[in-house]
Structure 1
Amino acid sequence: MWRRSASFVVDNRIDPLSPSDSTTFDQEQNPITHEGIGIGIPPVISAYYQTRTEHHAVVTSDWLAQSQKAAVDGTGMETPPAERAVAAGTGRKGFRVTDEFNYWRKKPDLAEAVAAIMALSSVIKCSEATTMMELEGELKEASNSLKAWDATSISLTAGCDLFMRYVTRTSALEYENFESAKSRLMDRGEKFGEISLKARKAIALLGQDFIFEGCTILVHGFSRVVLEVLKLAAENGKLFRVLCTEGRPDRTGLRFSKELASIGVSVKLLIDCAVAYTMDEVDMVFFGADGVVESGGIINMMGTYQIALVAHSMNKPVYVAAESYKFARLFPLDQKDLTPALRPIDFGVPIPSGVEVETSARDYTPPKYLTLLFTELGVLTPSVVSDELIQLYL
């Protein structure tokens, strides 16, 4: 089962009750372990949700500007750490893959997996290895460091694994001299990064064709790729209405509705428990995904599964927009197979003593409740996902 996989263990993170400026975490300095969640034990928050809090915690008119400002690294310079290390001539000694990753992940429109791909590409650039075996060892070590940053992040793990397969999958590297092989790896890494960055626009071109004039779309969560699909449809002159779930406790629906309203799309905000009540008005449901698994199902924000169940029972199509770097070699059988990605929960009122709070942030939606997946690889049925995974990884 997935929860038994060595790659997916409960994340060792900082205490969520600690000051908000402690979101930059160093495992060596804070070797906190956490075996489970129980009554009276503060949950250990996954790094992904710390990042989301940094970028989007407060819904204000300038939240995007705040996020863009946060993209400047700690030294106040816009130059990536790898470029500074190369310019300074310090090479590998002056470069840490986690610094490069943190630089890229703070870009408000950049997915974690893409940030990891950019960071791993920089490892090749800064490497002082003299053999292919040594270079591949450095890449593997860097990949493992990134995956350990948030062991509950599916897209981060999938992105690292895909990068490693993509840049090292040809035997031709063994027959080239080292400098040629290294140059080939650098070219591949940069190409893979470019492909990943363009994935969202490719998906938008495919997905917007399924949005018809006058339709009503239900969305859940703040998915940047779903937002790109809807933006492109609106730019092409299509008139449609969007129903956004509120998305507590992250207020993702509030942010999503604000983005859509700013481009003139008609939006209605729902409380999360009003989905079944309004489903008869809906023509289609759009989800993003934290991860797409081998069965063709998805792992996404908590509530996705129950919305898909309601939509399926009322014969409403359920579409998923997800980049291929979120395709993960995992096969969860049920909800309890998920290693919990934990997030802070604020009900706005004191929690009675002795009451346990469910802090899991995502659920698993089986493929039978999904209609189509829009990826940069094409429009896929859930049953085709396993075949595409084989192609991606082999």
Structure 2
Amino acid sequence: MAVASSSSDAAVFDVNEAFQRILSDEHISTPLAAILALSELIERSDAETMFELVNALNAGAKALRQKNVNPISLNAGCELFIAFVTLFPHNTSSIPELKRELIRQSRQYAEEALTYRDKIANLALGFIKDDSVILTHSYSRVVMKTLLMAHKRKRISVFVTEARPRGLGIKTAEVLRANGIPVTIVLDSAVSYVMEKVDFVLVGSEAVVESGGLVNAVGSNQIAIIAKAANKPFYALAESYKFHRLFPLSQYDLPTSKPHVLSFLPAPQSAPPTHAEGEEATKASRASKPTYEPITQEQISQSNPDVDYTRPDLISLVFSDVGSLTPEGVSQYLVGMFAG
């Protein structure tokens, strides 16, 4: 969906194309890609008032949400950027000058944000002791940064979940093993089995929400529940641009592009026999076993969620570029962040 504008440049500008192009850089996370795509929208927009500019940004954010499978972390970036534009002091009478300043500052912010993973890794490093055995889930760039930094200074071993349906835990294990870190892949169904061997759990995040809870790759919630039962710390790593004004009360409050999550598969339907065929069909059905269509991994993946919600009472600490926060601290930070 292109974001329309009366100028020829803005008319052909596709915010989704810009978003995907920026996201192709493996160092750029989804919220940052959204921020940079919206800053390009400003550059191409012919808005002549602040009202028109904010409307264009809201339309761009809507277009991004409609085209992306998991809109949660994308929403976090969009909300942060639109709040920044809305609260930006409008001292200048020149809209073009204001646009240039907004673009400059958004790009400067994105450049600074690329250093956040190093800050978080250094902060979390203080909680990692020699000979630590760590359980992580799926694949997270900030978790990888932390584990690789820890490996240079301390002895660590890592259990990583397979993380179905995407299986990104295998990618994590391959990178860790290539860097000389002892690693074992754990079945998602074996988390409670391995928890006794673990010192703590370390996971990344799609978003940290207003309650102080965590949205992350599906399976994170059950890992947190098991860790709590085993009295093992559960740490989350999250850049501050992933803090999101969302307040889910259950798993089903999370926005998703999958309208039929965990819906029941319909039974195979066969055409009813004609009157003439009825007697013969009845005899045949008694003599034969019922047939079933095979259930594919693709069907399982499509009918299952990509992310889940972990309650704040299950989280020990959130390590962020703004410090190590309790879940309550995240709530307070979010209030201040969007209050200007």
TM range (shorter): 0.7 to 0.9
Larger Rg: 2
1:371 aligns with 2:316: yes
Between the aligned partners of 1:168 and 1:187, the Cα distance in structure 2 is 16
Between the aligned partners of 1:271 and 1:125, the Cα distance in structure 2 is 47
Rate the CA distance shift 1:356–1:108 in 2: closer, same or farther, 3 A. closer
Q: What's 1:247 paired with? A: 163
Deviates more, 1:129-138 or 1:355-364: 355-364
| Partner secondary structure for residue 173 of structure 1 | coil
**One of 123, 129, 149 as aligned partner of 1:232:** 149
Report Cα offsets for 1:215-264 as digits up to 9, x if no partner.
000001111111111111123x2110000111122111111000111111
**One of 197, 204, 226 as aligned partner of 1:281:** 197
Between the aligned partners of 1:264 and 1:152, the Cα distance in structure 2 is 33
Report Cα offsets for 1:262-295 as digits up to 9, x if no partner.
1111111111111111111100101111121111
Q: What's 1:159 paired with? A: 77
Task: Supply the AA of the counterpart residue of 1:321.
Answer: L
**One of 10, 15, 31 as aligned partner of 1:113:** 31
| Partner secondary structure for residue 191 of structure 1 | helix
**One of 144, 156, 166 as aligned partner of 2:62:** 144
Contact 2:71 2:255 in 1 (8 A): no
* Cα RMSD (Å): 2.7
1:183 aligns with 2:104: no
Contact 1:332 1:338 in 2 (8 A): yes
Q: What's 1:312 paired with? A: 228
**One of 208, 219, 223 as aligned partner of 1:303:** 219
Task: Supply the AA of the counterpart residue of 1:191.
Answer: Q
Between the aligned partners of 1:356 and 1:372, the Cα distance in structure 2 is 33
Rate the CA distance shift 1:103–1:243 in 2: closer, same or farther, 3 A. same
How far has the Cα of 1:341 moved from its partner? 5.5
Between the aligned partners of 1:293 and 1:136, the Cα distance in structure 2 is 24
Task: Supply the AA of the counterpart residue of 1:108.
Answer: E
1:351 aligns with 2:295: yes
Q: What's 2:326 paired with? A: 381
1:208 aligns with 2:134: no
Between the aligned partners of 1:330 and 1:130, the Cα distance in structure 2 is 32
Report Cα offsets for 1:106-126 as digits up to 9, x if no partner.
223321111111111112222
Report Cα offsets for 1:284-316 as digits up to 9, x if no partner.
101111121111111112211111111111111
How far has the Cα of 1:162 moved from its partner? 0.2
Between the aligned partners of 1:281 and 1:263, the Cα distance in structure 2 is 22
| Partner secondary structure for residue 231 of structure 2 | coil
Deviates more, 1:102-111 or 1:268-277: 102-111
How far has the Cα of 1:372 moved from its partner? 0.4
Report Cα offsets for 1:35-71 as digits up to 9, x if no partner.
xxxxxxxxxxxxxxxxxxxxxxxxxxxxxxxxxxxxx
Question: TM-score, normalising length from structure 1?
Answer: 0.71
Structure 2 unaligned segments of length 5 or more: list them: 263-292
Between the aligned partners of 2:211 and 2:34, the Cα distance in structure 1 is 25
| Partner secondary structure for residue 114 of structure 2 | helix
Contact 1:168 1:185 in 2 (8 A): no
Rate the CA distance shift 1:125–1:223 in 2: closer, same or farther, 3 A. same
How far has the Cα of 1:27 moved from its partner? 9.9
Between the aligned partners of 2:189 and 2:337, the Cα distance in structure 1 is 38
Between the aligned partners of 2:313 and 2:111, the Cα distance in structure 1 is 33
How far has the Cα of 1:379 moved from its partner? 0.8
Deviates more, 1:204-213 or 1:156-165: 204-213
Q: What's 1:124 paired with? A: 42
Q: Percent identity, aligned pairs only?
A: 37
Between the aligned partners of 1:161 and 1:339, the Cα distance in structure 2 is 15
| Partner secondary structure for residue 244 of structure 1 | strand
Report Cα offsets for 1:342-393 as digits up to 9, x if no partner.
4999xxx9229xx988412222111111100011111100111111111221
Rate the CA distance shift 1:266–1:337 in 2: closer, same or farther, 3 A. same
Question: TM-score, normalising length from structure 2?
Answer: 0.81
Between the aligned partners of 2:52 and 2:257, the Cα distance in structure 1 is 34
Contact 1:317 1:371 in 2 (8 A): yes
How far has the Cα of 1:175 moved from its partner? 4.6
Q: What's 2:52 paired with? A: 134
Between the aligned partners of 2:315 and 2:190, the Cα distance in structure 1 is 21
Contact 2:72 2:255 in 1 (8 A): no
Rate the CA distance shift 1:103–1:217 in 2: closer, same or farther, 3 A. same
Between the aligned partners of 2:63 and 2:87, the Cα distance in structure 1 is 21
- Count, aligned residues: 302
Contact 1:200 1:225 in 2 (8 A): yes
